[in-house]
Amino acid sequence: MWIVNHAADRVVLVNGSLLPLLAPLLPHLPTVEHVVVTGPGDRSLLDGAAPRVHEYEELIAGRPTAYDWPELDERTAAAMCYTSGTTGDPKGVVYSHRSIYLHSMQVNMTESMGLTDKDTSLVVVPQFHVNAWGLPHATFMSGINMLMPDRFLQPAPLAEMIEREKPTHAAAVPTIWQGLLAEVTAHPRDLSSMRQVTIGGAACPPSLMEAYDRLGVRLCHAWGMTETSPLGTMAHPPHGLTAEEEWPYRVTQGRFPAGVEARLVGPGGEHLPWDGESAGELEVRGTWIAGAYYNGVDGEPLRPEDKFSADGWLKTGDVGVISPDGYLTLTDRAKDVIKSGGEWISSVELENALMAHPAVAEAAVVAVPDEKWGERPLATVVLKEGATADYETLRAFLADEGGIAKWQLPERWAIVPAVPKTSVGKFDKKVIRRQYAEGELDVTQL
């Protein structure tokens, strides 16, 4: 509702299965003039709705199949998406015909997803998440088959679909691959048709990559944002390395393609070297990188200072290092970093180390207020079905196996039935922080 009103949408295309969700919202969407419905679903839910309701099939019936395309300036707006709102209100990004075209070419290049007309790409990503990561356009451009799971995003139907349809490529956020792994561990399926999987949207735990390696499926880590169309980096190791030598490259977020320029900026605004050690905020610019937000953010201007530098680079809000050979390693989102006694603790590093424990299915770490240190980490852990582990053991595992420094080890712990997720399947740390503040979590302090 927030997004439709902010974008002032006039037409909504909706699948009939979603009418129970849309119908109660319509009275609160004053700009919507038309609703176009496709697929099965109870139309009577829209009775009395103010906007005009159309059947998609009726709208297109009898129309000529050829269309006299207008000559548009390539820089005019072609599509919009909103950020998924992981850290605050969603922000609107407009893509031009030009940016989509150039981005699609990059997606299909060998050093990105390397798709050809011999591939079938399983797009698990929902359409509203960065234009389904640009894949509908990229696959169309190269005549690649595209598979979409509709509402059946749960691990069991996904596993069945992969075994049956044999996609060669797939794209989804890490939580989808975590869920699928648990499913195929319990009920083995053949996933080996997928020669390559693009995983991004949130940091991929290295333990997840290892587990899929054992299933013969290679996960390739990618970083991007709604503001970057989204392709920003992909983690293909340099040529000619052994599997062991490739590993340190595969667990990075990857390298920037030619169309994306990047720099790291320190707290004082200084530009940092690509030495693999100097950590700063990542800034990017390029032909498919947004230069402003649609209608601003929370009534602020289109290019708020905390989102764009004075010279026009996008401030990503992501913190990390870049190696001399150009590989980006993100340590955290600036808003999720735990600021403890003047030092920074990476929530992602703690999560990755925890998720490598055999009893842990998922783990999310957030900053919580602490009288002495300002902030300290709270570890919330989901155990695998039937598994047990006590907090002392997990803490010792972080130090001994995860290599986490003693002062960074969490003292606050909670076992939870599930990590709350955003609409696109990312860990929703806003919700965990609120649950903690309101005393909803059963926290043990060691």
- In the bound state with ligand ADP, the residue whose beta carbon lies nearer, of 170 and 202, is 202
Least Å distance, CB 396 to ligand ADP, is 27
- Burial label for 399, CB within 10 Å (0-12, 13-18, 19+), is middle
Residue 84 sits in the site that holds ligand ADP (CB under 6 A): yes
Residues in 137-196 at the binding interface with ligand ADP, rule: CB under 6 A: none
> Contact with ligand ADP (CB under 6 A): which of 23, 37, 83, 297?
83
**DSSP characters over 133-165:** HTHHHHHHHHT-EEE--TT--SHHHHHHHHHHH
The residue of the chain with the least Cβ separation from ligand ADP equals: 86
Catalytic-labelled residue, pool 247, 274, 344, 373: 344
Is-contact 236 209, C-beta < 8 A?
Answer: no
Least Å distance, CB 316 to ligand ADP, is 5
Tokens representing 411 are: 């003292």
Active site residue 438: no
Catalytic-labelled residue, pool 183, 227, 283, 349: 227
> Contact with ligand ADP (CB under 6 A): which of 177, 223, 308, 397?
223
Active site residue 198: no
Residue 134 sits in the site that holds ligand ADP (CB under 6 A): no
Residue 103 sits in the site that holds ligand ADP (CB under 6 A): no
Name the segment binding ligand ADP (CB under 6 A); options: 94-102, 150-158, 199-207, 359-367.
199-207
C-alpha distances in angstroms, 105 versus 114, 119, 140, 259, 384? 10, 16, 11, 11, 41
- In the bound state with ligand ADP, the residue whose beta carbon lies nearer, of 139 and 198, is 198
Strand, helix or coil for residue 192: coil
C-alpha distances in angstroms, 2 versus 174, 234, 399? 26, 32, 43
Is-contact 29 35, C-beta < 8 A?
Answer: no
Active site residue 87: no
Least Å distance, CB 279 to ligand ADP, is 14
Give the position of tokens 């207020």: 369
Distance CA 273, CA 279 (A): 9
Cα–Cα nearest to 366, from 314, 296, 432, 279: 432
Residues in 317-376 at the binding interface with ligand ADP, rule: CB under 6 A: 317-318, 330, 333
Residue 226 sits in the site that holds ligand ADP (CB under 6 A): yes
Residue 413 sits in the site that holds ligand ADP (CB under 6 A): no
> Contact with ligand ADP (CB under 6 A): which of 37, 225, 290, 366?
225
Instruction: Provide the 10 A C-beta neighbour count for residue 369.
Output: 11
Residue 136 sits in the site that holds ligand ADP (CB under 6 A): no
Site string for ligand ADP, 242-281 (x = CB under 6 A): -----------x----------------------------
Residue 107 sits in the site that holds ligand ADP (CB under 6 A): no
Active site residue 344: yes
Residue 316 sits in the site that holds ligand ADP (CB under 6 A): yes
Site string for ligand ADP, 275-314 (x = CB under 6 A): ----------------------------------------
Catalytic-labelled residue, pool 2, 58, 339, 392: 339
Q: Which residues contact 283 (CB under 8 A, 6 or more apart)?
A: 262, 263, 264, 265, 309, 313, 314, 315, 316
Name the segment binding ligand ADP (CB under 6 A); options: 64-72, 77-85, 366-374, 397-405.
77-85
Is-contact 288 106, C-beta < 8 A?
Answer: yes
| Start-end of H helices in 166-288 | 174-186, 206-214, 243-250
Q: Which residues contact 434 (CB under 8 A, 6 or more apart)?
A: none
Least Å distance, CB 92 to ligand ADP, is 12
Distance CA 213, CA 207 (A): 10
Name the segment binding ligand ADP (CB under 6 A); options: 187-195, 201-209, 284-292, 366-374.
201-209
Strand, helix or coil for residue 211: helix
Residue 203 sits in the site that holds ligand ADP (CB under 6 A): yes
Least Å distance, CB 22 to ligand ADP, is 22
Q: Which residues contact 78 (CB under 8 A, 6 or more apart)?
A: 95, 96, 97, 100
List residues binding ligand ADP (CB under 6 A).
83-87, 200-203, 221-226, 253, 316-318, 330, 333, 424, 426
Catalytic residues: 83, 227, 339, 344
